[in-house]
Structure 1
């Protein structure tokens, strides 16, 4: 992507270093997968808000590629109504950017009391989150997809369910520079969207498969929490059941496409909204080259690609709406 000017609020050196720090955790994560071995009965991805949504793709990966049960759940609800299968032999996985989310930290202690092995990814070794875990992996990355991919595919490889693990893990090291290119390619579309919709009052965000978690995260944790925009998030498979009745010619509709087997669900939504709506924007991971990545691995990387592209949208919305992404009225401001 040579010749493209520097991106707004994008430190390329810092961005690549953060992702590289995540990829560098490979030896430790592989050692943990070997240590856990055949003793793993099931894997639970427990979080809150964005940390829950970010782990959805990896529960889905287990559900669709392995006989090892995988479940993503909201931690606070799970503690009140847990699966009967959770306990000895369970691995409970957590992620946290700050390490200070009470709902998540309570769930770690609860999971340990139930006999589960707790594994987590964060950036702060001194946080309550890091201190509570049985196994903690530290990096400067602000997302945890690379680490979660290494953990889950490592477990699959140990079970004989992912023969291409070594090649896949090697190619993950290419992502820091590849995702810089994604950010640069996505920036123009993100800028156009933000400028066109600086005064929008209501948006639809639609996704499916392993990018549904990011669609959920983006609508809740960015558009609502960070920009105070009224947002409907809907899974493409459920769009037919009520949501389509709200589509009008001027309804702002944002479609997040991945590359897994659920693309036909998104195609169905797109065919409908293109017919009845004049304000449709598509971010599709298939539009980004990802040179050096095996075509058979592209679908696994869709959450990383869509997240990188959408991060440019966040930056431009912050600018044109004059609303900083770190401003809150209630979250962590007042008692809840």
Structure 2
């Protein structure tokens, strides 16, 4: 596949990524023995978006009190649910994100437990937090983080006696990298076709819900806007009919992300509407992919990883077709603001 090294992907995500299971369990088990009041999942940009699926999973499957918070807002808002007994979870590719560092310092100054997943070793975040797993590579870091976060949140649930299927679940997590690889291979021609068709499209609506809302928000803002300078709007499927629908016309690009959790009827409703109005509806549905060896019970959770990997294939083809490097920035980390 174009700009995709299968061997490297499997080494980083499957061989090395899955090997962190015992370290994650040791960290989570220690936190649980110590006791905690709630979990804060904190990030900036793509890393707060990454937390939204796991907030959704915990809220819909566990009684654990969980809060996903934007780092810069969290530091100034005086959240009354936050205390020294909170567990604060962070992710960072660079390990240097200013707002995330400030949030970690804020949490530590108040005695809370901090735990981070970081790609780049020996960076400020790796040295600040109480517990850190450093994956060592920026490449495929989001794919790896997603898998590690499954292990983190479901271990917390298991330790609360809310997830007796934990052992089976982790066996199926181990199958996920191959399922991702199969999915991206199957989707690749569609990703290329999308990029060719939409290389000059100047506005996209992205719609999603449930545990895919984070991917919806992230792809619109962090990829289409930040990395490709294309105007985009992320719209929650539950809110689509409370304003946004009035902007849909025959040539509006609507990208609909469909998963397999309880909120699927919300995206079904958007699809029924959009296919009547626009000729430029793109539906990316995780049900179209086999996920070999993954049980029906867990498919809805793993849809997060599958969906993100599929979107990433669109990214590389947009980069090629638009001659616009994904690394190009005008302002981000280029100037003071």
Find the partner of 2:109 among 113, 118, 122: 113
Question: Shift of the alpha carbon at 1:62?
Answer: 1.4
* Contact kept in structure 1, 2:176 and 2:302, CA below 8 Å: no
Equivalent residues of 2:75, 2:102 under 8 A apart: no
Once the 2 structures are TM-superposed, how far is the Cα of residue 105 of structure 1 from its aligned partner? 0.7
Deviation of 1:262 after TM superposition, in Å, equals: 0.2
Work out which of the residue numbers 10, 17, 34 in structure 1 matches 2:11: 17
Gaps of 5+ in 2: none
- Structure 1 residue 177, shift from structure 2 partner: 1.7
Q: Deviations over 1:180-226 (max 9, x none)?
A: 11111111111111100111111100000000000100000000000
- CA displacement at 1:82 relative to structure 2: 3.2
Instruction: Identify the residue that residue 137 of structure 1 maps to in structure 2.
Output: 133
Gaps of 5+ in 1: 1-6
Q: Does residue 49 of structure 1 match 2:45?
A: yes
- Secondary structure of 2:201's counterpart equals coil
* Conserved 8 A contact 1:17-1:176: no
Q: CA deviation at 1:173?
A: 1.2
Asked whether 1:100 is paired with 2:116, we answer: no
Map of 1:215 onto structure 2:
216
SS at match of 2:177: helix
- Cα distance in 1 between the residues matched to 2:162 and 2:278: 43
Following the alignment from structure 1 to structure 2, what is the Cα–Cα distance between the partners of residues 41 and 31?
19
Work out the CA distance in 2 between the residues paired with 1:122 and 1:173.
Answer: 20
CA RMSD of aligned residues (A): 0.9
**What secondary structure, in the 3-state scheme, does the structure 2 residue paired with 1:231 have?**
strand
Aligned counterparts, 1:317-328, within 5 A: 317-328=318-329
Q: Deviations over 1:246-290 (max 9, x none)?
A: 000000110111110000000010011001111000111111101
Offset, 1:114: 1.4
- Please list the CA deviations of residues 140-165 of structure 1 after superposition, one character each: whole Å capped at 9, or x if unmatched: 34111111110100000001101100
Q: CA deviation at 1:125?
A: 2.4
Number of the residue aligned with 1:266: 267
Contact 1:205–1:219 (Cα < 8 Å) also in 2: yes
1:196 matched to which residue of 2? 197
Partner of 1:4: none
Question: Equivalences for 1:161-310 in 2 at 5 Å?
Answer: 161-310=162-311
The aligned counterpart of 1:72 is 68
CA distance in 1, matches of 2:226, 2:300: 28
1:40 Cα shift? 1.8
2:191·2:313 contact (CA, 8 Å) conserved in 1? yes
Ranges of 4+ aligned residues in structure 1 off by more than 3 Å: none
The 1-side partners of 2:236 and 2:110 are apart by 33
State the Cα distance separating 1:118 from its structure 2 match.
Answer: 0.3
Q: d(CA) in 2 for partners of 1:189 and 1:281?
A: 10
Give me the whole-angstrom Cα distance separating, in 2, the residues matched to 1:22 and 1:102. Answer: 26
Counterpart in the other structure of 2:314: 313
Q: Would you say the 8 A contact 1:19–1:175 is kept in 2?
A: no
TM-score, structure 1 normalization: 0.97
Q: How many residues align?
A: 330
Residue of 76, 84, 89 corresponding to 2:80: 84
Is it true that 1:146 corresponds to 2:142 in the alignment? no
